[in-house]
Amino acid sequence: MKVYKVFAINPGSTSTKISLFENENVVYTANVSHDASRLAQFQTISEQLPYRKDTILNLLKENSIRLEGVDAFVGRGGGLLPLEGGTYEVDELLLEHAKIGANNVAHPAQLGSQLAHEFKKEYGGKCFVVNPPDVDEYEEIARVTGIKEITRASHLHSLNQKETAIRHAKSIGKTYEECNFIICHIGGGISVAAHKKGRMIDGIDIVEGEGPMAPTRAGAIPAAPLIRLCYSGKYSEKEMLAKCTKNGGLVDHLGTSDALEISKRAKAGEPYAKLIWEAMIYQIIKTIGSMACVLQGKVDGILLGGGMVYNKALVEMITKGCEFIAAITAYPGEFEMEAMVSGAIRVMEGMEKAKKYTGIPVFQGFLGGNYESK
């Protein structure tokens, strides 16, 4: 097998994780810190591009890491309209949508494809994004809600979920496309999805507020009390959105989003910390059960990933609640950098064909086609 050199780029809020791989072997990895005060000076995320690029190049130079001869630069996708899973070659349309944030979700991941393209222009090679956050493979029936104007969309940890599925399938002598999995990413955010024969056919929308509560997210809330709270005058629209997506969950109940601290408080016998910690896990178990029904009980495995999966007590509770469905396997941490590299190599090896970003959302509503407006 040819040795491919791949440089992976994963921008975060105040840092950018970078890794240089030779096939599956890490040659160099670092978490490049960016000055928060400098970042605050930029009006948009995309305006940070030159500053982040220079910071990365300076660190590489300090550590004598050269990018000449890299076969592919692959960035964390972001800012795109809903698309199928896979590896996409970065082109002008994809770059433009990443730059403007076509999905209306401002996130540092928008910079992944832009940084990768900047390095490609300077050093050559190919340029990809792999399973960006906007992957949406839901079946139509999963999109329906009880309010005609609202349809469900997919916002999941698709990159890590799919890589975990690919790895586990290989470990049991199968391909991802042959298996049905329920996969949970349990970290700063919590996402649960049903994977059927290589597609995420249903899951929870972690951006819009579904599923279990998480360290900073409220998760699913009964609609009527939430509406009444919105109109109570206590909070503005901005404050309510923050309460659901940034200041909810564990931090709202316990004043901290530090899951390790809360689990220790729970273990030490602090009653309310124990209740909230176990309630979060209880909600994860309920969500796993719902995805088992989506797959009609045909589940080849329940896979747990993300930082909180290092907590053995959490894994034990989920196992106790769900092992009657299928075997539980823990993959603590995440494979995001490895996932980006693997996706690029699969394309360069000819195992997969690079997809083209069309900018056309995979779902555009139920009206038309086989449906008539009532």
pLDDT of residue 75: 97
Domain shared by 32 and 170, yes or no: no
Range of the domain at 64: 5-138+337-348
The proportion of the chain whose per-residue pLDDT surpasses 70, expressed as a percent, equals 98
Domain shared by 195 and 291, yes or no: yes
Residue 146 located in a structural domain: no
- What is the amino acid identity at position 315? V
* CATH code at position 231: 3.30.420.40
Residue 295 located in a structural domain: yes
Domain shared by 306 and 166, yes or no: yes
Residue 148 located in a structural domain: no
Give pLDDT tens digits for 193-246: 999 999 999 999 998 999 999 999 999 999 999 999 999 999 999 999 999 999
Domain shared by 109 and 202, yes or no: no
Location of structure tokens 């996130």: 107
Determine how β-strand 126-130 pairs with β-strand 72-75: parallel
State how far the alpha carbon of 95 is from the alpha carbons of 118, 173, 357, 359, in Å.
11, 37, 10, 11
Total count of domains within the chain:
2
pLDDT of residue 373: 46
Domain shared by 284 and 176, yes or no: yes
Residue 366 located in a structural domain: no
The partner residues of 11 in beta bridges, in order of sequence, read: 16
Q: H/E element holding 170?
A: helix 158-171
Residue 361 located in a structural domain: no
Give pLDDT tens digits for 107-157: 999 999 999 999 999 999 999 999 999 999 999 999 999 999 999 999 999
Residue 149 located in a structural domain: no
Domain shared by 181 and 285, yes or no: yes
Distance of CA 323 to the CA centre of its chain: 25
- What is the amino acid identity at position 165? A
Residue 361 clears pLDDT 50, i.e. is over it: yes
pLDDT of residue 69: 96
Report the chain's mean pLDDT, rounded to a whole number: 95
The proportion of the chain whose per-residue pLDDT surpasses 90, expressed as a percent, equals 93
Residue 88 located in a structural domain: yes
Give pLDDT tens digits for 307-328: 999 999 999 999 999 999 999 9
Domain shared by 168 and 116, yes or no: no
Domain shared by 228 and 309, yes or no: yes
Residue 150 located in a structural domain: no
Residue 20 clears pLDDT 60, i.e. is over it: yes
pLDDT of residue 52: 96
Report the alpha-carbon distance of residue 304 to residue 321 in Å, rounded. 14
Q: How confident is the model at residue 366 (pLDDT cuts 50, 70, 90)?
A: confident
pLDDT of residue 374: 42
Yes or no: say if 132 and 159 are a contact pair by the CB < 8 Å rule. Answer: yes
Domain shared by 343 and 317, yes or no: no
Report the alpha-carbon distance of residue 206 to residue 306 in Å, rounded. 15
Closest CA to 108 of 86, 84, 132, 91: 132
Domain shared by 19 and 110, yes or no: yes
Specify the 3-state DSSP secondary structure of 6.
Answer: strand
Domain shared by 222 and 87, yes or no: no
What pTM value is reported for the model?
0.92
pLDDT of residue 114: 98
Residue 368 clears pLDDT 80, i.e. is over it: no
Domain shared by 165 and 250, yes or no: yes
- Region 183-199: what's the mean pLDDT? 96
